Amino acid sequence: MSVLFEPLSLRSLTVRNRLWMAPMCQYSAAPEGPETGAPNDWHFQHLGARAAGGTGLILTEATAVSPEGRISPYDLGLWNDTQQAAFARITRFLKSQGTVPGIQIAHAGRKASTERTWVDRGAPIAPGDGYGWQPVSASALPFDDGYTTPAELTTAEIDAIVEEFAATARRALAAGFEVAEIHGAHGYLVHQFLSPYSNHRTDAYGGSYEGRARFALRVAEAVRAVWPDELPLFFRVSATDWLTEDESDDRTGWTVDDTVRLAADLGHRGVDLIDVSSGGIAPNARIETGPGYQVPFAERIRRETGLPVAAVGLITEARQAEKIVADGQADAVMLGRELLRDPYFALHAARELGDEPYVAQPYHRAY
């Protein structure tokens, strides 16, 4: 057996392999009406196809804790019974294929109220214009030119959002999810508090690392408090903002050193795995991409904290994924666009690496 197809146990949960699906927004939910934010037939077939293709664990796209927490009006959310029931249909199917269903719980913060990515390249929607609304953030700093200046959150509003994360986690459990992941990356609200580039607060939630990390750690504690002890909790990080690390520069960003420190703090609060990505806080950051370009960040976090990690970013080939896990750079790999191109990547990878592939029973005659 290749190491890529060895099972991985986290708490009492065992995932059948190390090939997992990263969260990817589909911008396909209803923007208004009783089905607002609820997964529909598109989401069912999108996630179900990857389960039938042998993916070990599937994380839903960023799922908002409130209407205002969506990236776009077409995003998924989990704040009401209708959404919960629709998710339950999906988790039942994923489990029937031996796939672990996971959910990424999120709040977009200042990057909220935007169009779908294929409409004007995801341009911002102004409050009151169509489906637009007023974004919020750690500080009243817009993401980019043309974006609405967000309202700076009060401490009472921060308290309310922490509880919304916990409430969504409770609903996720009731809907049948077995992994919860907190979205702390890609320039969304949790990341907006973490990064000095976007957090200019002077109260207990700003300034030093301790202040900027306070919101993220409170969210982790709140979700862990309602998530069962036997089930794992993940946290997605942007390991670096790809900005200067010179504290005298006004473009100072979050760094890999910061991420290692945060990962250790999260581990002490019951987070079981760090899902390692990068970037997203600044539109003009200079990101150096290439095959597996974020894997070294995951490797360092794993080495220096002892926590399990998942690597993501331009992982497109079976032997590349196998080497990442075999070399101890990560405990699992998250595939994004490659799984959009090939829902059966895990099946094809198993055959290429000489393993017995998972094949859905109705398809056995083809293998």
- Is residue 364, in this structure, part of any structural domain at all? no
CB neighbours of residue 120 within 10 Å = 11
Tell me, yes or no, whether 361 lies in a domain: no
Count of other CB atoms within 10 angstroms of residue 36 = 21
CATH number of the domain residue 261 falls in? 3.20.20.70
Q: Which two tokens stand for residue 159?
A: 């308290």
The answer to whether residue 366 is domain-embedded is no
The residues, ordered by sequence, that sit 6+ positions from 27 with a Cβ below 8 Å of its Cβ are 72, 74, 75, 116, 117, 118
pLDDT for the residue numbered 307: 98
Q: Is 188 a catalytic residue?
A: yes
pLDDT at 222: 98
Nearest by Cα to 237 from 199, 267, 210: 267
In a domain, 365, yes or no: no
Tell me whether residue 327 is in a domain: yes
Maximum pairwise Cα distance, the chain = 64
**What would the pLDDT profile of 76-121 be if each residue is shown by its tens digit?**
999 999 999 999 999 999 999 999 999 999 999 999 999 999 999 9
Query: CA 64, CA 172: separation in Å to the nearest integer?
Result: 12
Tell me: the pLDDT tens digits for 271-281?
A: 999 999 999 99
Domain count along the chain: 1
**What's the pLDDT at 245?**
61
For the chain, which ranges sit under pLDDT 50? none
How many residues belong to the chain? 367
Q: Of 208, 207, 219, whose CA–CA distance to 269 is shortest?
A: 219
Any domain includes 17: yes
pLDDT value, residue 217? 98
Which of the following is catalytic: 27, 188, 344, 358?
A: 188
The answer to whether the beta carbons of residues 94 and 108 sit under 8 Å apart is no
Residue 22 belongs to domain spanning = 3-356
CA distances to 33, 122, 163, 283, 337 from 73, rounded to whole Å, are 11, 11, 22, 21, 22
**HEC-encoded secondary structure of the chain:** CCHHHCCEEECCEEECCCEEECCCCCCCCECCCCCECCCCHHHHHHHHHHHHCCCCEEEEEEEECCHHHCCCCCCCECCCHHHHHHHHHHHHHHHHCCCEEEEEEECCHHHCCECCCCCCCCCECCCCCCCCCCCEECCCCCCCCCCCCCEECCHHHHHHHHHHHHHHHHHHHHCCCCEEEEEECCCCHHHHHHCCCCCCCCCCCCCCHHHHHHHHHHHHHHHHHHCCCCCCEEEEEECCCCCCCCCCCCCCCCCHHHHHHHHHHHHHCCCCEEEEECCCCCCCCCCCCCCCCCHHHHHHHHHHHCCCEEEECCCCCHHHHHHHHHCCCCCEEEECHHHHHCCCHHHHHHHHCCCCCCCCHHHHHHC
Q: Alpha-carbon dihedral of residues 196, 60, 160, 197, nearest 10 degrees?
A: 10
The pairing of beta strand 233-238 with beta strand 273-277: parallel
Instruction: Report pLDDT for 252.
Output: 84
Amino acid code (one letter) for 19: L
pTM: 0.97
Judge contact between 6 and 56, C-beta under 8 A.
no
Is 185 domain-assigned? Answer: yes
Rounded Cα–Cα distance for residues 275 and 331 (Å): 10
Residue 50 CA to residue 58 CA, distance in Å, equals: 8
Give 206's Cβ-side CA count (13 Å radius): 17
**Per residue in 283-307, pLDDT tens?**
989 999 999 999 999 999 999 999 9
Does residue 362 fall inside a structural domain? no
